[in-house]
Every structure is written in structure tokens, then in C-alpha cells.
Amino acid sequence: MTILTVETKPFADQKPGTSGLRKKVPHFQQPHYAENFLQAIFDAAEVPAGAKLVIGGDGRYFNREVIGRAIRMAAANGVGHVIVGQNGLLSTPAASNLIRKRQAMGGIILSASHNPGGPDGDFGIKYNVANGGPAPETVTERIYARTKKLTEYKIAEAAAPDISLVGTTQFEGIMVEVVDPVADYAALMEELFDFELIRNAISNGLTLCFDAMHAITGPYAMEILHKRLGAPQGSIINAVPLEDFGGGHPDPNVVWAAPLVDHLMSPHAPDFGAASDGDGDRNMILGRGIVVTPSDSLAVLAANAHLAKGYSAGLAGIARSMPTSQAADRVASRLGVGIYETPTGWKFFGNLLDAGKVTICGEESAGTGSNHVREKDGLWAVLLWLNILAARKQSVLEIVEEHWRDYGRNYYQRHDYEEVDKAAAEELMDSLRGRLASMSGQRFGTLVVSEADDFSYMDPVDGSLSTGQGIRIIFSGGSRIVFRLSGTGTVGATLRVYLELYEPNAARHNLPVETALAELIETADIIGEIRQRTGREQPDVRT
């Protein structure tokens, strides 16, 4: 093979964020920009000679281009065997599964998750390690350090191989194996869930609508929900992946998946509705007449997981990110298993899953998953819900309301203030930090602060400490307000305010969420000085 050594200069802005490096497409199109970051990954990963590497992405604009370069660079950097999804496609959970199943050294996933795509949209490169999960901070720090020092990168001179046909070929002396992106993932789902039970429920009238948002899960949903489980083809909408997601925003929430929400609230609503994001790791769950919040979904899934064959032995424990509601904590305590509260970011679940301390994890940001892979998994959540619906023969609404009666309801809402001036947002957080020590015992209306802190987390497996993970203000009775700056925004700062109120009284379980949370919302503004410091009267998004 002829290896080119290309001279380059470091870019100062290649620090990986919560989920790898994310920038606008034109930014990634600068000469050498993507190659520099890929080289930093190869250097940081210290590729063992002949190693196996998984490569794939969510199919967004620029995906094909970068996949070709990544394969050529893998060949030049000592990788012996590349496993790549056909046409470069792999959902994030499917990539995680392949890394684990094929015992690869890791994987390169090209995606900007739920951010819009297209020539002016977003693009991203993320490295996952051998357990199938996102690289831990020690690795991303190494990658970042390399990006600051690089003077050259290595790439095979030959043109990128054709990856449009499944099969194994030789490319410059290494093996390039093009795999069906869906097959291994679908097989894993069949191991975890009772497909026959779900198939029978569907043939007996259970109706569903899955919105793939023109993103990666289209082919997965067609294979699993339509072909294997018998849902009519029309049950899967926006099923064809497009490079620009059809101009949409592939983020499964009430704002960006509004047509699906309207459909589920209409008189013709199916029994079950769901959507996933650009790269297939997020989920939104709905039933006729109800949008299930991610925090409630985690709690319901954890309480009912034993109904699916893959979890019939019960759960080892449950983990949730700190801002996620405490509904799952009540399930864990009833089950007598551990509950772990981690900082925001799926990577914090990796050690707990590897150590067998938890089976199910979830985040308020529409992520749920289990120990089957090391990423959150949108279709997994959909299938577990379907399995539970089929086993319990009740509606989504009935199951959620029964859950509230049983455990109490954690009313919950997140308010986002987007593109806030960065300095103002940081000052707001600093000011809160400065007042934490004096907050305990303070009264706001009927609320009394019982505890206030800046969340820090000591990983119980490797002892590493993560500080500054969000301001928690906890009131007696368990209500909470959490303030946090987003780690994934691309413009200015995004302030997230998470509001939670525990209501044990079933007679009060059907209030509009904003009514139930009114006092907390007002208190959040008083304590956080949100209006005053951001100049915003209202949040941009309420989820």
C-alpha cells in the first residue's frame, strides 16, 4: 500500500464535547479538518497491529465522504480489519453492538445525533472504545491533546473502496467487511424481547405509529416492526433516511415531532406512538392521549422489564442522570436494587454497566437503554414498551396512570433558554454557586430548601471524580430545581432548568404539568434570577 503522509497544522477547536466533535458541515469541510481529528483518534487509541475497527454513521450529509477517508486512514494507521455498515450506515446502538459482538478495538461513529443535517447542517465524529461505549474522559483528553500537536496525518493513497455491497474485500492489504447495518442488531432484539407475543398482539389489533424522522432508524424499523413483527408498512412514517432528514430536525420531542404528537392526540390515534432521532439512540414514547416523559418511561420500563425474556431474571440496579426525575428511585427501592445518580452523559453509565451494578439506565434527554449495548437505544425502548403492552394487555395511559397510583407521580418539566449570552449564563451559574452555602433553610412560598449543592460524582468503579455537574436545589418533600448549562449546544449557551415535584396523592395526578409546577417555576426564576440575567421572559422550549 502507498501511504501518504500529509502535512497539516493543528486546529484549536477540536476538543470533543459530551458526544465527540460536533461542528457545522462547512467547518468540517475545511481542508484537513476531519483528517486531523481522525488522526488524533488513531494516535490516542494506540491501534494494536491488525486491530478490528467498526465504522459507520447516521447517513447525514458528508457521511459518505468522511467514511471513505476514515477507511483510508484506518488502513494507513495499522488497522487490519474494518467493519463498515453498507453505504456507511449504522445506527449508534447498532455500532455499539457490532463493536462488542465482533470484539473490535472500538468504533468511529459519524453523527451529530439529533441536530439538523445537510450542507449547512451539523456533522460529528465520535470515538467509541472496546466495550462499545463512548470514549471515557481519559481517552477524549488524549484525543484533544493530540489535536493540538499534530503536524501530519497518514492516509492510503488509493481511492476509498466501494461499500455499497455486503461482503468482504481486500483494500490495500487490509480487510474491509461491509455488513448489513440491521442484521446483527435485529438478532440481538430477538434475543431480548418476545417477538411472538408482540406479533400476536399486533395481529390482534394493537396499532402503532413509528416516526423515523427520515433518519437512520427507518431501515431498522422496517425490518423489525414491519417485517418481523407484522406492523403494517404504513405504521412506519418518514422511513427513508435522507442526507438532510428532509429538512427537518431529527429530534424526537413534542416540538420537532409535533405531527406525531398531534396524531396520537387525535380521534384516529393508534395505541402506541414512538420516534427516534438522527442516529437512533434517543426515543420518544406516546400512547393514545399521552406523551410519556422520558423520566416516567424509565421508571415504567424498570418496573416492568421482567415481562421481557431478556430481563426476566430481574434488574441488578438502575442508573439515571442527575437531572432525570426521581421516579426511577422509587422503583429501585421497591425492587430492592441499587439506584445510581450520575452526571449528564451516557458515558457515565459505562462503568456501572460493565461492573454489573445496573441493568437499565435512562436520561431525561430522551435516552433509555440497558446492558445489551453501551449506548442508549431508541428502538430498544420501543420494543420493551411493545413487549410490556403485549404482556399486560393494557393501554399506555392505563399503565402510566397505574404506575403513578402505585408509586406517586413525579411531575416534571425542563425549560430551555437557548442561545443565551455565554457570559451571562456563566454569571448566573456562578452567582448560584456563590449562594449555595446560605441557601439551606431558606423559604420560598411554601417551599423550604433542605439541601443545595453543585453536583459532583465519584465513579464507584474507578474512583474518578467529576465536579461542577449542575446546581441542585432540593426542597423538603423532595421537590427539586436543577440548573445546568448544556454541554451540546453549538451557539452561545443553553441554560436548562429542570423542575420536579413529587405528588403522592392520586387525586392530584391529573393536573396540567405547568399548574402542578407553578410554584417551582416561579421559585426557579427568583433563585436563578433568570429573567433578569438572560433578558428572557419565557423559555424557548418546554419539554
- Is residue 113 near Zn ion by the rule CB under 5 A? yes
Query: Closest separation between CB of residue 456 and ligand G6P, Å?
Result: 16
Report the residue number whose CB is nearest to ligand G6P. 486
405 torsion bin: left (phi>0), alpha (psi -120 to 50), beta (else): alpha
Under rule CB under 6 A, residue 367 binds ligand G6P: yes
Distance CA 38, CA 72 (A): 11
Among 122, 279, 363, 416, the residue binding Zn ion under the rule CB under 5 A is 279
Residue 18 near ligand G6P by CB under 6 A: yes
Q: Choose the stretch contacting ligand G6P; rule: CB under 6 A; options: 175-183, 204-212, 360-368, 528-536.
A: 360-368
Q: Does 469 bind Zn ion (CB under 5 A)?
A: no
* Shortest reach from residue 275's CB to ligand G6P, in Å: 15
Query: Residue type for 77, please?
Result: N
Considering the complex, state which of residue 207 and residue 488 has its C-beta at the smaller distance from ligand G6P. Answer: 488
> With contact defined as beta carbons under 8 Å apart, do 306 and 316 qualify?
no
Helices (H), 179-311: 183-192, 195-203, 217-221, 258-265, 294-304
Query: By the 8 A CB rule, do 107 and 53 touch?
Result: yes
Residues numbered 315 to 344 that lie near ligand G6P (CB under 6 A) are 321, 344
Angle at 316 between CA 347 and CA 128, to 5 degrees: 20
Angle between helices 183-192 and 92-101 (to 10 degrees): 80
Tally the residues of the chain.
543
Residues 209-238 close enough to bind Zn ion by CB under 5 A:
none
Sorted by sequence, the CB contacts under 8 Å of residue 105 that are 6+ apart come out as: 45, 47, 48, 51, 52, 53, 79, 130
238 binds ligand G6P (CB under 6 A): no
Binding range to ligand G6P, per CB under 6 A, among 228-236, 363-371, 463-471, 526-534: 363-371
User: Of 24 and 309, which CB lies nearer to Zn ion in the complex structure?
Assistant: 24
Using CB under 6 A as the binding criterion, the count of chain residues that bind ligand G6P stands at 14
Q: Is 58 in the site for Zn ion (CB under 5 A)?
A: no
CB 126 within 8 A of CB 203: no
- Between the two ends of the chain, the Cα-to-Cα distance in Å is 52
- Is 113 marked active-site? yes
Active-site residue, from 19, 91, 96, 113: 113
Q: Does 466 bind ligand G6P (CB under 6 A)?
A: no
Q: Report the run of H or E that residue 94 belongs to, with start and end.
A: helix 92-101
User: Site residues for ligand G6P, window 105-144 (CB under 6 A)?
Assistant: 113
- String of DSSP letters for 400-462: HHHHHHHH-EEEEEEEEEEEE-HHHHHHHHHHHHHHGGGTTT-EETTEEEEEEEE--EE-TTT
Partner in contact with 277, chosen from ligand G6P, Zn ion, none, beta carbon below 5 to 8 Å by kind = Zn ion
Report if residue 459 touches ligand G6P, rule: CB under 6 A. no
- 396 secondary structure, DSSP code: H
Helix/strand/coil (H/E/C) assignment for every residue in 130-198: CCCCECCHHHHHHHHHHHCCCCEEEEECCCCCCCCCCEEEEECCEEEEEECCCHHHHHHHHHHCCHHHH
Return the number of the residue (71 or 112) whose C-beta is nearest Zn ion. Answer: 112
Task: Single out the residue of 33, 256, 346, 385 in contact with ligand G6P (rule: CB under 6 A).
Answer: 346
Minimum distance from residue 281 beta carbon to ligand G6P (Å): 7
223/363 with CB nearer ligand G6P: 363
Binds 279: which of Zn ion, ligand G6P, none (CB < 5-8 Å by kind) = Zn ion
Q: Does 377 bind Zn ion (CB under 5 A)?
A: no
Type and span of the H or E element at 35: helix 33-45
* Whole-number Å distance between alpha carbons of 311 and 506: 29
* Sole window of 111-119, 405-413, 418-426, 441-449 interacting with Zn ion (rule: CB under 5 A): 111-119
Give the interface segment with ligand G6P, choosing from 167-175, 241-249, 480-488, 502-510 (CB under 6 A): 480-488
Residue (344 or 534) nearer to ligand G6P, CB: 344
CB 318 within 8 A of CB 358: yes
Q: Please identify, using beta-carbon distances, which residue of 52 and 347 lies nearer to ligand G6P.
A: 347
DSSP-derived 3-state class of residue 287: strand
Name which of 320 and 357 has its Cβ closer to ligand G6P. 320
Q: Which residues here bind ligand G6P, judged by CB under 6 A? A: 18-19, 113, 321, 344-346, 363, 365, 367, 486-488, 496
- Contacts with Zn ion by CB under 5 A lie at 113, 277, 279, 281-282
Please list the active-site residues: 113
